[in-house]
């Protein structure tokens, strides 16, 4: 075991990919000279050279399009977008090209592209750098969406994503980069298909992913003190959803609270709730609860930002409500 951070785990994954496969290269804003806005690629330019660690202009549409072209040409590009807010400039390339080309070419051309980007709030970066829009991407057929919430997943999801013949978007919650922990020395590729049960429980399923996992686990700890055994599901893959794991958990606990830093309206949490209605209705003992971001642009002041986001206390309240106890 080695003590490490989420950021170092991401860097270790990048380094492994670059070393293992000469078709892999990294490109994005400030990934080279600056070492990455979140310092994930620090040192890689020196180690792998400017051919494979490429700084790009501030033009998301252009460099994501270049990544798609490179992937079509046989490369295995890793494109880093600084935050999900900026990825909207590349939405056309992602939705209209990356996600569709295999379909529109009748299977002749696939796009083995990996796009990494930071998502989420909590660091006072205000409304243009703090949103959680991964749920939008999870709407799109033709791309796979994953959200590593642990060191092992930060370390292991990238290689598996590169192996995928189709586009994979990896959403790294910006609040996780400083997360510390131990990682086995032989940590490596992990599956990017299944959800994980991060804590067993029988009374309630807390369904979450990414930056909200730690909050859900903290809430579960509080609930345990009240005699409520909450199961915590880490979705890991947002598209496709691992329905089997979700349904098995809810069949056992009969109650679910979904924790999602995205807004509630038209969201991933709404989708999961709908699937529970469709497939687990007769298992339910309470309405499916949701803890989401307040429906405002994420505020800059710390106290307002905290108030706008899911927090352990809100999760605890929703859980109590699902169990018929006073919130």
Partner 1 sequence: MLGADMEAGTLVEWLKQPGDALKRGDIIAVVETQKGAIEIEVFQAGVLERLVAKPGEKLPVGALMATFAGEGETAIMPAGPPPPPLKPPTLPSPAPTMPRPAPAAGARVRASPAARKRAGELGFDLAGLTGSGPDGAVTLADVEARSGARPPALAAPGAQLAMRQAIGAAMTRSKREIPHYYLSTTVDFHGATAWLEAANRDRPVTDRLLYGVLLLKAVALALKQAPEFNGYWSDGGFRPSVPIHIGVAISLRQGGLIAPAIHDADGKPLDQLMREFRDLVRRARSGGLRSSELSDATITVTSLGEQGVDTVFPVIYPPQVAMIGFGTPAERPWASAGQVVARRLLTASLAADHRVSDGHRGARFLAAIGNLLQAPEQL
284 touches partner 1 (CB under 8 A): yes
For partner 1, give the closer residue by CB, 265 or 326.
326
Closest CA to 311 of 216, 220, 233: 216
Residue pair 177/38 in contact (Cβ under 8 Å)? The answer is: yes
What's the min distance (Å) between Cβ of 277 and partner 1? Answer: 9
What letter would DSSP give residue 229? Answer: -
CA angle 195, 169, 46 (to 5 degrees): 115
For partner 1, give the closer residue by CB, 152 or 258.
258
Q: Is 129 marked active-site?
A: yes
Site string for partner 1, 218-257 (x = CB under 8 A): ------------------------------------x---
Q: What is the DSSP string of 153-221?
A: HHHHHHHHHHHSSS-EEEEEEGGGTT-EEEE-TT-----SS--EEEE--SSEEEEE-GGGHHHHHHHHH
285 touches partner 1 (CB under 8 A): yes
Long-range contacts of 32-39 (CB under 8 A, 24+ apart): 36/80, 37/82, 37/118, 38/7, 38/118, 38/172, 38/174, 38/177, 39/7, 39/177
322 touches partner 1 (CB under 8 A): yes
Closest CA to 41 of 23, 51, 59, 29: 29
The catalytic residue among 60, 134, 172, 271 is: 60
Q: Is 60 marked active-site?
A: yes
For partner 1, give the closer residue by CB, 3 or 282.
282
Among 286, 294, 304, 311, binds partner 1 (CB under 8 A): 286
For partner 1, give the closer residue by CB, 221 or 283.
283
**Helix H or strand E segment including 235:** none
Count of C-beta atoms within a 10 Å radius of residue 292: 23
Contacts of residue 141, defined as CB under 8 A and 6 or more positions apart, other chains included, come to: 99
For partner 1, give the closer residue by CB, 18 or 272.
272
The catalytic residue among 16, 29, 80, 129 is: 129
What's the min distance (Å) between Cβ of 325 and partner 1? Answer: 9
Q: Starting at the edge strand that comes first in sequence, how are the strands of the sheet with 53-55 ordered? A: 53-55, 24-28, 76-83, 114-119, 168-173, 144-146, 237-239
What's the min distance (Å) between Cβ of 246 and partner 1? Answer: 16
324 touches partner 1 (CB under 8 A): yes
Binding segment for partner 1 among 37-45, 109-117, 140-148, 285-293 (CB under 8 A)?
285-293
33 touches partner 1 (CB under 8 A): no
Residue pair 138/268 in contact (Cβ under 8 Å)? The answer is: yes
What's the min distance (Å) between Cβ of 324 and partner 1? Answer: 4
For partner 1, give the closer residue by CB, 227 or 282.
282
323 touches partner 1 (CB under 8 A): yes
What's the min distance (Å) between Cβ of 323 and partner 1? Answer: 8
166 touches partner 1 (CB under 8 A): no
Active site positions, annotated: 60, 129
Binding site for partner 1 (CB under 8 A): 254, 281-287, 321-324
């Amino acid at each position: 075991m080695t003590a490490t951070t989420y950021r170092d785990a991401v860097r270790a994954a990048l380094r492994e990919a670059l070393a293992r496969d000469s078709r892999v290269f990294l490109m994005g804003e400030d990934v080279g000279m600056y070492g990455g806005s979140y310092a994930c690629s620090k040192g890689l330019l020196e180690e792998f050279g400017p051919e494979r660690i490429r700084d790009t202009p501030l033009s998301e549409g252009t460099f994501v399009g270049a990544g798609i072209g490179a992937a079509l040409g046989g490369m295995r590009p890793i494109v880093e977008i600084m935050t999900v807010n900026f990825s909207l400039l590349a939405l056309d390339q992602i939705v209209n090209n990356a996600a569709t080309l295999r379909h529109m070419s009748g299977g002749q051309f696939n796009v083995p592209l990996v796009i990494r980007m930071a998502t989420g709030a909590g660091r006072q970066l205000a409304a243009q750098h703090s949103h959680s829009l991964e749920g939008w991407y999870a709407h799109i057929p033709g791309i796979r969406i994953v959200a590593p919430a642990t060191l092992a997943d930060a370390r292991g999801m990238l290689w598996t994503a590169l192996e995928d013949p189709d586009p994979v978007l990896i959403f790294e919650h910006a609040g996780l980069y400083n997360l510390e922990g131990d990682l086995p020395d032989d940590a490596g590729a992990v599956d990017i298909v299944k959800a994980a049960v991060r804590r067993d429980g029988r009374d309630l399923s807390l369904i979450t992913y990414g930056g909200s996992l730690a909050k859900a686990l903290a809430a579960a700890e509080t609930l345990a003190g009240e005699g409520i055994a909450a199961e915590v599901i880490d979705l890991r893959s947002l598209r496709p959803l691992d329905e089997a794991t979700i349904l098995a958990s809810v069949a056992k606990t009969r109650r679910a609270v979904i924790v999602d830093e995205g807004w509630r309206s038209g969201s991933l949490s709404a989708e999961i709730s709908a699937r529970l209605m469709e497939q687990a209705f007769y298992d339910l003992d309470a309405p499916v609860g949701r803890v989401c971001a307040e429906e405002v642009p994420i505020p800059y002041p710390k106290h307002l930002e905290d108030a706008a986001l899911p927090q352990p206390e809100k999760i605890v309240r929703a859980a109590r409500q699902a169990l018929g106890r006073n919130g």
